[in-house]
Amino acid sequence: DGGITQSPKYLFRKEGQNVTLSCEQNLNHDAMYWYRQDPGQGLRLIYYSQIVNDFQKGDIAEGYSVSREKKESFPLTVTSAQKNPTAFYLCASSISTGKLAFFGQGTRLTVV
Amino acid sequence: DAKTTQPNSMESNEEEPVHLPCNHSTISGTDYIHWYRQLPSQGPEYVIHGLTSNVNNRMASLAIAEDRKSSTLILHRATLRDAAVYYCILTNNNAGNMLTFGGGTRLMVKP
């Protein structure tokens, strides 16, 4: 089945550790995105990529890093520099930016 | 970027119609109006979108004001499974245009 997959669904890490969240899509989409969602809030854009080997910072990129070495994959690393990393992280993809987006089921990261 | 304004929350009774409003007074001529909804602990899912004319699909209807400064998402018969946060978003085909999510409207459906 075509879709966008995030793994794992739940992730626990100790403070000070880097952690990488996985996002894979088999929809042949050029654009991919990472959003962060805090309880009761809307989605905020962390990073986006319009095409392979290219990505841009979103509104809240500090403390995060990404790579886009393959069209299908857009992993997000939450570094120890992110002051408040506990959140729900959502990955999305679309044919191109601004087009209809498909979202993964999210990864809930808890840093203790 | 053009912004949207939605009520924080709305309530509906099961099996009754629901009208979810969205104001977008600074919409440009090339902006599409998209609606997504997010069920608890899930990623958002696409509901419907339109440019100028009203649109219908199996999930909902979208009514767009003649001046395009507002729109209304219509759920014809609300079910308990429609309880979610509904986001109204403007987007266009310009390169680099992002989906910018506001706070959305939390719809509560009473049995």
Per-residue model confidence (pLDDT) at position A35: 95
> Max CA-CA distance within chain A?
37
Q: Which residues of A fall within a CB distance of 8 Å from B45?
A: 103
The residue among B49, B59, B91, B98 with the most chain A CBs within 10 A of its CB, best to mutate, is B98
Q: What is the mean pLDDT of residues B9-19?
A: 97
Tokens encoding A63 = 């403390």
Per-residue model confidence (pLDDT) at position A105: 94
The residue among A30, A41, A103, A105 with the most chain B CBs within 10 A of its CB, best to mutate, is A103
In this prediction, residue B1 has a pLDDT band, given cuts at 50, 70 and 90, of low
- Is B43 within 8 Å of chain A by CB? yes
How many residues are listed for chain A in this entry? 112
CA–CA separation, B82 and B73 (whole Å)? 12
Beta bridge partners of B107: B10, B84
CA–CA separation, A19 and A75 (whole Å)? 10
- Is B1 within 8 Å of chain A by CB? no
**To the nearest 10°, the Cα dihedral for B92, B94, B95, B101?**
-30
What is the overall mean pLDDT for chain B?
Answer: 92
**A60-103, pLDDT tens digit by residue?**
999 999 999 999 999 999 999 899 999 999 999 998 877 788 99
CA–CA separation, A37 and A89 (whole Å)? 6
SS3 B49: strand
Res B95 pLDDT > 80: no
Who contacts A108 (Cβ-Cβ below 8 Å, separation ≥6)?
A9, A10, A11, A87, A88, A89, B41
**B40-91, pLDDT tens digit by residue?**
989 999 999 999 999 999 999 999 999 999 999 999 999 999 999 999 999 8
Backbone angles phi, psi at B52, to 5 degrees: -130, -40
DSSP letter at B87 equals E
Q: Are B101 and B87 in contact (CB under 8 A)?
A: yes
